[in-house]
Amino acid sequence: MERRDYLLREIEKIGLLMRAILNHLMNKEENFALKINKKFDETTEQLLFDTGFDLKKSISMNQESFIQYISSFKGMNTGNLELLADIMFQYGTNESSYKRDNCMRKALQLYEFCNNLDKTYSFARENKVEKVLNELNDIRP
């Protein structure tokens, strides 16, 4: 019972951290393009320090390695995976074409992974998938 409580606390802690990162990235201010990179660097360092999860490294991984890497972390439940996909999407919308493409593909992969794990259909998640697909279509010439 004590071990289960510990795991639940860790899952909740990761979820709170993911929400904080997403909120941090979504604050709109002057010089948004410059500040988003600084915010991303700050928050990814915090995520790495708190959980050992390297977000920058995960963006450059191939699809198979990415899912294995994500799956190796305890506390990555469907809700946290979806938050991570939201972070990838948000970061990708403000990046150059190469990083943007990678972030969007990772976000799409995470949303699809969530769909495979989750037993219930999510309209909100499907709307997010559509947004990512639209962004990917805009990237291509």
Rounded Cα gap, residues 35 and 10, in angstroms? 29
SS (H, E, C) 26-47: HCCCCCHHHHHHHHHHHHHHHH
CA distance 91 to 10: 25
Q: Per residue of the chain (141 residues), what is the pLDDT tens digit? A: 566 677 777 777 787 777 777 777 666 554 555 566 777 778 788 888 888 888 888 988 998 899 999 988 887 889 989 999 998 898 888 767 678 889 999 999 999 999 999 888 899 999 999 999 999 888 665
- What is residue 100's predicted lDDT score, i.e. its pLDDT? 86
pLDDT at position 35 is: 64
**Can you give the pLDDT at residue 30?**
47
Query: Given this model, what pLDDT does residue 2 score?
Result: 66
Domains in the chain: boundaries: 2-139
Q: pTM of the predicted model, to two decimals?
A: 0.77
